[in-house]
Structure 1
């Protein structure tokens, strides 16, 4: 029985592709690849809807690209791709990626911009496919949104292999086409690199990323911006002089000395402009202390400094972007380890503001170090205070990896955080700060506060937020519990498996938004 003509042609195309690939594979690392976008069509019979750059390539090939796409299978779905070899003389490998609907936009149900998310996912998929083929130089179709395309490329190609002998090929990307908005592309590159910095800090093993190394790394990253950034690496003697008893009580269980990292970014034209103060939990390894965690999965606690990583990386990005806003970053850095010097369940410690805390669970240590940092943050008469922390497993139970939980006393600040997250696709969701939870952490037999709620596991993320609120007097404060978004399995398609670095880009976008309001 004769095969239908279309099947014969499709088979021939696939054989041609395999032949060309096998011929060029040995030297493909020295050649360029191209990623092009195509929008979703309403039906199989509709004409292929290319982006501007893809349409130009198709015209230069006398319609051959659209012909091959039509013959090679059903229309491409969002984030899916097809690769063609030997199609273009300048690009031995061309990947076409699905962008979804051309008229997509902000979705109220999903709380993000579908078009931007589709571009990020599609470009990431295309770049990774070329990386797997050892293609070292890739030109990327901006797909109508240069910033999102650049973010997809930079975020999608990242993988922490610093300590591996065999590494993935390093791919350089640049926008394709004559009508490229280079400023938009470069902004996306900086946003992506900022999140990747947080991912690198979080992935590094705890013996490589001690409090001292963390502080030195951030100082080095900020060194190109010394004209507008000041870095203070406060030692233990300074922490003691500031009477940060809660912070010191956590750090004393470890042989590694604590560091209080303080960053000042002066980007505003008016130096007296009240700063945005960002505070990040910096537990570089969390064993749980005497309240020891289960051994299974404890290795992931190298990333318990995710709050400090995202906050500091956001400031590095703000400096690179030259945002006209003043930002102060505070990161109490230490390990939480069991030893003869460590906090014991039932101990009482005194925070910087004088409040006493009964430590009934030494594994609820993040709120202790943040308590002192939040007290200190008020010294700067801030426009707003935002702290970020991988604070509670309860947050992961509540929201999973879908969004960062936000607890705030300010509708004004919430609205801006929410707006920023819609742009980045790195979502936030507002959580309650009821007195119901405050009463639970004030029910302490020995001190003013207890570091865990009266009912232990019930509403754990909410009682943790209520605890932090006891150290805040500012009118505009938000606590970001990022425990649920700390890692990525396959939930965010443009991030590989591992530490996510979320919500670095949302913090940067918020800073940019506040800068635009002055």
Structure 2
């Protein structure tokens, strides 16, 4: 085989992939910037007997006199979602990663409840960018593969890593569209992915770094660049007390960290007076369970129990960056749930902002308490719709796992909008029941109007939690998103590395964008 066509085959490479790329780049005087290229090829079908390149890949192949096609014929079938790296094909790109795509006509798959074409592009581009990152390539051009937004999302989501606190970090990789990729769609994909990555950053950070105060300050800093279009209010404990938010305060009182009620106003509507979309996120920056202490195994993961607040605030940041013509208010009650001599005790009764009393039989069912007061406050803004997001119940993880976010909605219209948005983003949602059957379980309380865990605490836990929240809702368009099952990622979503997922930030953004453009 000619030295110009060195393929990624361990049997014939005397050097490691990383060392080869270093050596080749050095020979080309590219020590400062190691460039790579990701191109798409459609998965080989038996009946076709030949591969098919994307438009950008065909253009590149013509530039290199068909060398890419020749290498593909030699290397054999490339399976969907996988990548293969070729070296020395072009002087400007020492490493070229080919990624396998599904049939371009795949489109929306009703069985999977997503757009298979978009999802495949995200997976494939992510795989190509990661393999180049492993080769210490620090600048990658990406084929839009027919959907530049999905390609950008796959690239940036796949390259994200939380290594802020490590002394040894992976090289940072910059990405840009290659050839004829449509720039506007690409940039939109970049903003969608950056929004989800912001949520991942917040969720992954240790709880001693992201306290309620630090969380609020981080979001304030991210929104500062948008000027008068955004107003950030960090409400103090004194304000929370004035509002009569006894349920929220009952959770925060066990911690030395003061609670913060974060209120974000994004004013993007062109008419100015438009009723706002209300997004409410659970913001427990660390959840020990309180007096009802959690088991120690995996308790460290509870640094991400503010995932609802992280996704909601990241969605507001993204809406501002996209300049969406809509008014959005984001609310995030932020606190820690800790055991101490001041902590709420099982059996205590607290009073919510709307005057309803709550018997707290399990202090580890704290998310619904802070959301109860936040939902009451949300209704004071005369919202178009209210969507709250929370890592609320382990029961949701048992029910759906990481496949989809569970949605409880009192509005068919609102459910349909969220479902449509999730089909586009591939970050799926699934509707769950809000039967009176569950309401009766939380209203049958010995000492108060409501019980925070319900009559049968182990049965239908996600549903009784949603029924509890509904007791604080008067809006005809309300949805509760339980994201406990999608909080983390192992290997279920190929373009998200192991760790906190930041889901469903992109679905919230897509929902808001659709609402903005469809009055």
Matches within 5 A, 1:452-463: 452-463=453-464
Moved more, 55-64 or 389-398: 55-64
1:197 equivalenced with 2:188 (yes/no): no
Rate the CA distance shift 1:485–1:9 in 2: closer, same or farther, 3 A.
closer
1:9 deviation in Å? 11
**What is the CA–CA distance in structure 1 between the aligned matches of 2:273 and 2:163, rounded to whole Å?**
43
**What is the CA–CA distance in structure 2 between the aligned matches of 1:83 and 1:489, rounded to whole Å?**
25
Equivalent residue number for residue 120 of structure 2: 118
1:277 equivalenced with 2:278 (yes/no): yes
Determine if contact 1:87/1:94 at 8 Å carries over to the other structure.
Answer: yes
**What is the CA–CA distance in structure 2 between the aligned matches of 1:12 and 1:80, rounded to whole Å?**
17
**What is the CA–CA distance in structure 2 between the aligned matches of 1:343 and 1:513, rounded to whole Å?**
42
Equivalent residue number for residue 57 of structure 1: 60
1:306 deviation in Å? 0.2
Matches within 5 A, 1:295-374: 295-374=296-375
1:15 deviation in Å? 4.2
Matches within 5 A, 1:177-192: 177=179, 179-192=180-193
Equivalent residue number for residue 100 of structure 1: 102
Matches within 5 A, 1:466-485: 466-485=467-486
1:101 deviation in Å? 1.5
Matches within 5 A, 1:189-268: 189-268=190-269
Equivalent residue number for residue 439 of structure 2: 438
Equivalent residue number for residue 388 of structure 1: 389
1:104 deviation in Å? 1.1
1:40 deviation in Å? 1.4
Residues 412-466 of structure 1, C-alpha deviations (whole Å, 9 max, x = no match): 0000000000000000000000000000001110000000021111000000000
**What is the CA–CA distance in structure 1 between the aligned matches of 2:370 and 2:181, rounded to whole Å?**
46
Structure 1 spans left out of the alignment, 5+ residues: 1-7
**What is the CA–CA distance in structure 2 between the aligned matches of 1:326 and 1:499, rounded to whole Å?**
29
Q: SS where residue 164 of structure 1 aligns?
A: coil
Could you tell me the TM-score, scaled by structure 2's length? 0.96
Determine if contact 2:21/2:135 at 8 Å carries over to the other structure.
Answer: no
Could you tell me the TM-score, scaled by structure 1's length? 0.96
Rate the CA distance shift 1:12–1:290 in 2: closer, same or farther, 3 A.
closer
**What is the CA–CA distance in structure 2 between the aligned matches of 1:408 and 1:9, rounded to whole Å?**
53
Q: SS where residue 42 of structure 1 aligns?
A: coil
**What is the CA–CA distance in structure 2 between the aligned matches of 1:23 and 1:240, rounded to whole Å?**
64
1:46 equivalenced with 2:83 (yes/no): no
Q: SS where residue 86 of structure 2 aligns?
A: strand
Equivalent residue number for residue 424 of structure 2: 423
Equivalent residue number for residue 3 of structure 2: none
The structure 2 residue matched to 1:35, chosen from 27, 35, 38, is 38
1:270 deviation in Å? 1.2
RMSD value over aligned CA atoms? 1.7
Rate the CA distance shift 1:51–1:350 in 2: closer, same or farther, 3 A.
same
Q: SS where residue 454 of structure 2 aligns?
A: coil
Determine if contact 2:40/2:143 at 8 Å carries over to the other structure.
Answer: yes
Rate the CA distance shift 1:29–1:287 in 2: closer, same or farther, 3 A.
farther
1:45 deviation in Å? 6.0
Which contiguous aligned blocks of 4+ residues in structure 1 show a shift greater than 3 angstroms?
8-22, 25-29
Rate the CA distance shift 1:383–1:409 in 2: closer, same or farther, 3 A.
same
Equivalent residue number for residue 148 of structure 1: 150
1:14 deviation in Å? 4.1
Residues 247-284 of structure 1, C-alpha deviations (whole Å, 9 max, x = no match): 00100000000000000000001111110000000000
Residues 130-170 of structure 1, C-alpha deviations (whole Å, 9 max, x = no match): 11111100000010100000000110000100000000100
**What is the CA–CA distance in structure 2 between the aligned matches of 1:145 and 1:354, rounded to whole Å?**
51
Structure 2 spans left out of the alignment, 5+ residues: 1-5
Equivalent residue number for residue 4 of structure 1: none
1:103 deviation in Å? 1.4
1:11 deviation in Å? 7.8
Equivalent residue number for residue 164 of structure 1: 166
Determine if contact 1:358/1:444 at 8 Å carries over to the other structure.
Answer: yes
Equivalent residue number for residue 5 of structure 1: none
1:47 deviation in Å? 2.3
Determine if contact 2:8/2:84 at 8 Å carries over to the other structure.
Answer: no
Rate the CA distance shift 1:497–1:13 in 2: closer, same or farther, 3 A.
closer
Rate the CA distance shift 1:482–1:29 in 2: closer, same or farther, 3 A.
farther
